[in-house]
Amino acid sequence: MKRIAVLCLLLSLCACTTNARLYNLDTGEMTPLVAHRERGSHGTIEGRFKSGESVKGEYQVVTQGTVGWGSVYTSVSSGTSTASGSGTATSIGIGKREGAIMMVGDQGLVLQCEFIMGLEAHGTGYCKDNHNGKYRLLF
């Protein structure tokens, strides 16, 4: 039993990496992102657009829903043909978790994202930037 507890502790402290893709809904341009889990359900995320602008930021996953979550998700998804769900904690299903991403670019871009993920660490979301750009997030 002691070995299992130590193993669980070590696994929770590991620096896991997840690859993601950000698709611009106007141009179709795909930007690869890399997320690094730091501790628990929080970590950093970064990528580089084809324009050369680098973005860096952080993400947070929550399991019980967050007051106010869904404003980005629903505003972007409702304007696309791939809308899914109402963006509320009660509509995403059992075992699903909500999260948010905030990234800032080295040339002034600011991205806000909201996502839904399953227990397998795969998910989908929507983002918008400070220039009215809209994106689909897949990981």
Instruction: Measure the CA–CA gap between 70 and 72, rounded to whole angstroms.
Output: 6
**Contact (CB, 8 A) for 70 and 64:** no
* pTM of the predicted structure, to 2 decimals: 0.76
Residue-range domain boundaries for the chain: 15-138
Report the candidate in 14, 44, 20 with the shortest Cα–Cα distance to residue 32.
Answer: 20
pLDDT value at position 21?
A: 98
CB 45 within 8 A of CB 56: yes
In whole angstroms, what is the distance from residue 91 CA to residue 74 CA?
Answer: 12
Question: 10-32: per-residue pLDDT in tens?
Answer: 444 456 889 999 999 999 999 99
**Separation between Cα atoms, residue 120 and residue 130, nearest integer Å:** 31
CA 71/CA 54 separation, integer angstroms: 25
**Which helix (H) or strand (E) element contains residue 37?**
strand 30-39
Neighbours of 101 (CB within 10 A): 25
Type of residue numbered 127: C
Assigned fold of 15-138: Lipocalin (2.40.128)
Residue 126: pLDDT band with limits 50, 70, 90: very high
In the structure encoding, which two tokens stand for residue 31, read together? 């930007």
Q: For residue 39, what pLDDT band results from cuts at 50, 70 and 90?
A: confident
pLDDT band at 80 (very low <50, low <70, confident <90, very high): low
Tell me the three-class secondary structure of 4-46, residue by residue.
HHHHHHHHHHCCCEEEEEEEECCCCCEEEEEEEEEECCEEEEE
Q: Which amino acid is located at 29 in the chain? A: E
